[in-house]
């Protein structure tokens, strides 16, 4: 059998566009595959601009602390495609992935379909054939026309914080983007909503009313109160949880953890056997790669003294930059290494981080056609200097007195960093 990488390369050629939002193509393929989306464990479906991955990471850790078997679907991957599909707690094996992709390719033939659509169909096949207690399902880009939005009635849907991103596909305004993302919620189900900008919240509340959805909304139905990295509180009505700090770094992770807890509370009402102790335990066990992740082993940390920390963060829009700035403000002698794609607001991203750009460097994302060049990024801010590669950037950051080096600006940059970190070359 051919390996998954070979099949994935072919699947990229089935449609000329990387993104073409519609459900027609995936509905047709799923029907030919026996409609696996109708044979899944209870689904938690999440959309939003920032915090989707972290929220589901908290939920996964909480559910596993309760002894539940957890499927998960997320994107994009950092190093290998296999990262996108977790089956009952384990990354999908190569043999299983290759067989599923081959099956979908055989059924689809040469009929156009996007890469995300056909690989999402393969994931649904995998989830339908492997027993689990819950499926954590993350949208790829939008909501209404996202390939994941074929699940009949999720156990709970979630909206993380909405911001401006992917305007070419979702609309120019927050209201437009919110209208696309809220449409993952189905009539008669429950939608858990994070704190939102006013323009987005108005659209969300109107959709909830029109579609007979039960809204469970931050600031109204539940609240949370961080407390300087010590015990913090989550509260709904008369119930209050006193909780340990979340394992993921940054003040913004309290918001994501609180959103996850709100969704777990809905699952508890649906007779999922998850205790409040499981919630506390899960918060402390959560892992999520590429989001203010400290990297301690591998090729790149070996270039640094023991007292220098190396962090990676793939956030790439303005809200992510603001959260990153808040996290960096707690670190000593930060040094930034920044790489971004050409379709992102690089100027705005740098503005959010302006107070941390002394000794900062820019980097061209290796092997990425849509990358901004290091020179073009550096031209946007007088404090930035272009670097040739990761090695030279890290050595400069180290030699300039950096105690916390943060590589940031794109998940694609983080993916190439992690791939290189595993290499001895």
Give tens-digit pLDDT for 124-171.
999 999 999 999 999 998 888 999 999 999 999 999 998 866 665 566
* Residue 288 and residue 53 in contact, taking contact as beta carbons nearer than 8 Å: yes
- Give the pLDDT score at 343: 87
Q: How many CA atoms lie within 13 A of 75 on its CB side?
A: 17
- CA quadruple 325, 331, 334, 338: dihedral sign: negative
- Give the pLDDT score at 228: 64
The residues, any chain, with a CB within 8 Å of residue 187's CB and separated by 6 or more, are 211, 212, 213
- List b or e across 271-280, with b for residues whose CB sees 16 or more CB atoms inside 10 angstroms: ebebebebbb
How far, in Å, CA of 212 to CA of 224, rounded?
27
Res. 425 pLDDT band, cuts 50 70 90: very low
pLDDT of 320-366, one tens digit each? 899 999 999 999 999 999 999 998 999 999 999 999 999 999 999 99
Give percent of the chain above pLDDT 90. 80
Q: How far is CA 160 from CA 39, 320, 330, in A?
A: 26, 13, 24
SS3 call for 308: coil
- What is the pLDDT of the chain when averaged over all its residues? 93
Average pLDDT of span 243-266: 95
Decide if pLDDT at 314 tops 80: yes
Which domains are delineated in the chain? 4-285 (3.40.1190.10), 293-421 (3.90.190.20)
| Residue of 226, 222, 232 lying closest to 260 (CA atoms) | 222
Strands 156-159 and 134-138: unpaired
pLDDT of 43-83, one tens digit each? 999 999 889 999 999 999 999 999 999 999 999 899 999 99
* Residue 140 and residue 75 in contact, taking contact as beta carbons nearer than 8 Å: yes
pTM for the model stands at: 0.92
Strands 214-217 and 385-386: unpaired
């Amino acid at each position: 059998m051919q390996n998954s990488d070979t099949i994935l390369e072919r699947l990229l050629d089935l449609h000329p566009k990387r993104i073409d939002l519609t459900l027609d193509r995936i509905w047709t393929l799923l029907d030919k595959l026996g409609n696996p989306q109708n044979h899944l464990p209870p689904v938690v479906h999440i959309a939003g601009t920032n915090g989707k991955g972290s929220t589901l990471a908290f939920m996964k850790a909480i559910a596993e602390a309760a002894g539940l078997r957890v499927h998960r679907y997320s994107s994009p991957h950092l190093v290998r495609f296999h990262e996108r599909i977790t089956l009952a707690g384990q990354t999908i094996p190569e043999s299983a992935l290759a067989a599923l992709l081959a099956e979908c390719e055989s059924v689809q033939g040469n009929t156009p379909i996007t890469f995300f659509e056909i690989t999402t169909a393969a994931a649904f096949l995998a989830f339908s054939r492997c027993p689990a207690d819950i499926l954590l399902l993350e949208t790829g880009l939008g909501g209404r026309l996202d390939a994941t939005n074929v699940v009949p009635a999720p156990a709970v849907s979630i909206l993380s914080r909405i911001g401006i991103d992917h305007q070419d596909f979702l609309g120019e305004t927050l209201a437009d983007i919110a209208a696309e993302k809220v449409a993952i919620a189905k009539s008669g189900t429950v939608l858990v909503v994070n704190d939102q900008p006013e323009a987005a919240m108005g659209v969300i509340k109107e959709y909830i009313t029109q579609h007979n959805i039960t809204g469970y909304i931050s600031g109204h139905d539940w609240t949370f109160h961080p407390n300087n990295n010590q015990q913090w509180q989550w509260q709904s009505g008369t119930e209050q949880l006193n909780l340990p700090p979340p394992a993921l770094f940054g003040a913004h992770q309290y918001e994501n953890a609180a959103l996850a807890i709100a969704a777990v509370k809905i699952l508890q009402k649906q007779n999922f056997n998850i205790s409040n102790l499981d919630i506390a335990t899960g918060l402390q066990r959560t892992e999520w790669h590429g989001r203010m992740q400290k990297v301690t082993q591998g090729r790149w940390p070996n270039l640094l003294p023991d007292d220098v920390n190396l962090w990676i963060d793939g956030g790439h829009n303005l809200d992510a930059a603001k959260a990153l700035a808040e996290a960096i403000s707690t670190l000593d002698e930060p040094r930034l290494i920044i790489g971004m794609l050409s379709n992102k607001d690089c100027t705005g991203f740098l503005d959010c981080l302006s107070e941390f750009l002394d000794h900062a460097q820019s980097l061209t994302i290796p092997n990425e056609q849509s990358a901004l060049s290091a020179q073009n990024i550096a031209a946007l801010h007088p404090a930035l200097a272009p670097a040739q590669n990761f090695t030279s950037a890290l050595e400069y950051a180290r030699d300039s007195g950096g105690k916390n080096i943060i590589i940031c600006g794109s998940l694609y940059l983080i993916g190439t960093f992690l791939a290189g970190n595993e290499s001895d070359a």
